Amino acid sequence: MPLIFKKDKKMADPLKMSASELGEAFENNLTNPVEALEAYLEAIQKSTLTERIYVEVTKERALGEAADARKRQKLGLRMGPLDGVPISWKDLFDVEGHETTAGSDLLKGQMPQTDCAILEQASINGLVTLGKTHMSELAFSGLGLNPVTQTPPCVNDLGAVAGGSSSGAAASVAFGLAPAAIGSDTGGSVRIPAAWNDLVGLKTTLGRVSMEGVVPLCRSFDTIGPIVKTVDDAGLLFSVITTNKPIDLEYRSIERGRLAILKGTPLDDLQQKPALAFEASVKALSNFGFKIKEIEIDEVESALALSSLVYPSEAYAEWKDKIEAAPELMYGEILQRFRGGKDVLASEYLKAMRDLEIFKKQYAMKCSEFDGVILPTCPIMPPNLERLESDNDYYVSQNLMALRNTRIGNLMGICSLTIPTNYNSCGLSIMALPNREEKLLRLGKAAEIAILK
């Protein structure tokens, strides 16, 4: 719900606000963009976790942008509800004059001369570029473990990984070192770290947000989305990066509508806490007025069976030349995942992609009567960092389980939102049909109220 401010500037602590609340505080002159940025820069400087979360803090740029936002605030000419709000960026987004490595030594020295397209759009709307965050190497892991650079921690367990590949993005928000972050999602890389760090994460529809100036992994599945504290924040940032007007997230009884529980694989082998969190969330949604029905979609199972073919083959095709020129620079587990696509035949890949198009159409037809489909965001809890580094079988099994449920959204080409539950590191995912982010965010807002009230 919107923050109700008192006429007391001491109440306006930027570090305790969501992005939308901070923008509202600027609008009401309860604080200003320079003060807010300075508070975050001080928190970043003092934190013992900063080096594990941030690749680089773009202090000089941020100070200039905050000063400009402060001038607009004084003149009553703010460029939007998030004008002056600082955000962090995953280190696969090009920031002019700052190295983009995507968590890999393969890209050391890659210095972009321009901002990526969505950073340009964010800057036009007055957002302040706080810095670049650590990530899984080349974005090819759902765990967030990166021995090559840094491994950000989970807010609920410092001995566990944060989730990937947008690990530092989520950690920057969860540990109070940014009010919001932008990540990418190819198989769950926004939603897994958001869920494990009790945040909101939005996976947009393929093509809805420009990928220009973003390091690719699998172009058929790469998407961009925000990692934030509330659904309100997600709605505002989505509007910014898609150049749309802010979405009316006001929920109405008619929009509580119908939800489907996706049975089958998404509910198999759940660890205890994710199972309890999902059960409690379904009950809360039902009590709130949603009509909920269980469904099974065979095409989802068929699509999941293809993921071990389409992802590695497309990723290896993208990165083969750089990888094989210097494979010793890579973390072994990630190198092995890429090379899993080395021997896939073109005929196998093309047939799999054609089959996916059929599965997408069947999925859309079978889900058309529902406003959204719900499932546990992740079937497991954040795995232990040390064990992941020392136990190959554990790494492989946990990575596959972490990505299992979220990957459905990418394979089906739809949009998906994860919101926190009342169980730490357990998220609830709501999936909607392609290009229905506005409706999805309204559903998410209602669900957020139902579950967390």
Query: Residue 237 maps to which CATH number?
Result: 3.90.1300.10
Residues, the chain: 453
pLDDT of residue 250: 81
Do residues 399 and 258 share a domain? yes
Do residues 316 and 197 share a domain? no
Active site residue 281: no
pLDDT of residue 18: 98
> Which amino acid belongs to residue 305?
A
pLDDT of residue 244: 84
Do residues 27 and 147 share a domain? yes
Last residue of a domain, one of 241, 266, 301: 241
Of 165, 167, 239, 307, the active-site residue reads: 165
Do residues 31 and 78 share a domain? yes
pLDDT of residue 453: 83
Domain that holds residue 412: 254-452
pLDDT of residue 251: 67
Task: Tell me the torsion sign for CA atoms 240, 243, 249, 250.
Answer: positive
Residue 201: strand pairing partners: 227, 418
pLDDT of residue 175: 98
Of 18, 20, 88, 90, the active-site residue reads: 90
Do residues 370 and 401 share a domain? yes
Q: Name every residue whose Cβ is closer than 8 Å to that of residue 144 and which is 6 or more positions away in sequence.
A: 135, 136, 151, 152, 161, 162, 163, 164, 165, 167, 193
Of 104, 136, 184, 189, the active-site residue reads: 189
Cα–Cα distances in Å, from 300 out to 84, 264, 282, 406, 414? 42, 9, 21, 12, 12
Last residue of a domain, one of 215, 241, 267: 241
Does the predicted model carry a pTM greater than 0.85?
yes
Q: In terms of Cα–Cα distance, which of 187, 146, 152 is closest to 169?
A: 152
Q: Name every residue whose Cβ is closer than 8 Å to that of residue 254 and which is 6 or more positions away in sequence.
A: none
Residue spans of the chain under pLDDT 70: 1-11, 251-256
109, part of any domain: yes
266, part of any domain: yes
Q: Cα(113)–Cα(145) distance, rounded to whole angstroms?
A: 29
pLDDT of residue 426: 98
Q: Cα(240)–Cα(234) distance, rounded to whole angstroms?
A: 10
247, part of any domain: no
Do residues 159 and 196 share a domain? yes
429, part of any domain: yes
Do residues 259 and 396 share a domain? yes
pLDDT of residue 12: 73
Q: Cα(189)–Cα(345) distance, rounded to whole angstroms?
A: 27
Q: Cα(182)–Cα(200) distance, rounded to whole angstroms?
A: 12
248, part of any domain: no
Do residues 296 and 160 share a domain? no
Last residue of a domain, one of 211, 241, 271: 241
Do residues 234 and 281 share a domain? no
262, part of any domain: yes
User: Residue holding tokens 């293809």?
Assistant: 306
Active site residue 361: no
Q: To 10 degrees, the CA torsion angle through 423, 429, 430, 436? A: 130
108, part of any domain: yes
Active site residue 416: no
116, part of any domain: yes
pLDDT of residue 255: 53
Do residues 218 and 269 share a domain? no
Do residues 421 and 446 share a domain? yes
Do residues 99 and 22 share a domain? yes
Q: Are 245 and 436 in contact (CB under 8 A)?
A: no
Q: Cα(404)–Cα(320) distance, rounded to whole angstroms?
A: 25
Q: Cα(320)–Cα(316) distance, rounded to whole angstroms?
A: 5
Q: Name every residue whose Cβ is closer than 8 Å to that of residue 4 and which is 6 or more positions away in sequence.
A: none
Number of domains composing the chain: 2
